[in-house]
Amino acid sequence: MRFLLVDRILEWTPNERIVGLKNITMSEDFLEFHFPRYPVMPGIMILESLTQLAGWLEAASSDFENWTLLEHVRHSKFYGFALPGDQVRLEIETVPCDEDGKRVFRCTAKLEDRRCAVAEIETRVVPMLDVESPEEQRFFFKILTRELAYFATERTRRKR
């Protein structure tokens, strides 16, 4: 099973930062047993959402030649629960790293204006072709940033 845990990308600056959203719905598979009768998004899934968003930053910044894989969680802290119906705001900033082939990111997950999780992660840069199709990921990125939705709306307006 594969979890795609970024629902939208709100903004991004190449090689610097990216902001996205994860909407939690009652139909998420991971909520079934975490916890019975009190569904909570597991902290590790929030961390995975942040890691995926960091991958999108690397992909978009490298014209979809690279992706990142989580290698090390330098530190993390969780402050509260994310529940069905919540919208988690994911914020990623790059941290300077001297080691070739590595990226470090400072990550924050927020529910409205309060922190839900923070982490600093270390990733390894890998060729996109080793993990995904660059063209497919470029297409998904356009959906996540609403670039394709914008064009579809414009086409509909022009036909009227």
The arrangement of strands across the sheet holding 8-13 comes to 8-13, 17-23, 87-95, 102-111, 114-127, 66-78
Strand pairing class (102-111; 66-78) = unpaired
CA distance 160 to 150: 16
Among 23-37, 92-106, 122-136, the minimum mean pLDDT is found in 23-37
- What values do phi and psi take at 23, rounded to 5? -95, 130
Average pLDDT, whole number, for the chain? 92
Angle between helices 147-159 and 134-144 (to 10 degrees): 70
User: Is residue 1 over pLDDT 60?
Assistant: no
What is the DSSP track for 88-145? Answer: EEEEEEEE---STTEEEEEEEEEETTEEEEEEEEEEEEEEGGGTS-HHHHHHHHHHHT
> 37-96: per-residue pLDDT in tens?
899 999 999 999 999 999 999 999 999 999 999 999 999 999 999 999 999 999 999 999
Catalytic (active-site) positions: 34
What does pTM read for this prediction? 0.91
**Per-residue pLDDT at 149:** 67
**Per-residue pLDDT at 15:** 97
The proportion of the chain whose per-residue pLDDT surpasses 70, expressed as a percent, equals 92
Location of structure tokens 């470090």: 104
All structural domains of the chain: 8-159 (3.10.129.10)
When pLDDT is averaged across residues 14-37 and rounded to a whole number, the result is 92
Largest CA distance in the chain: 55
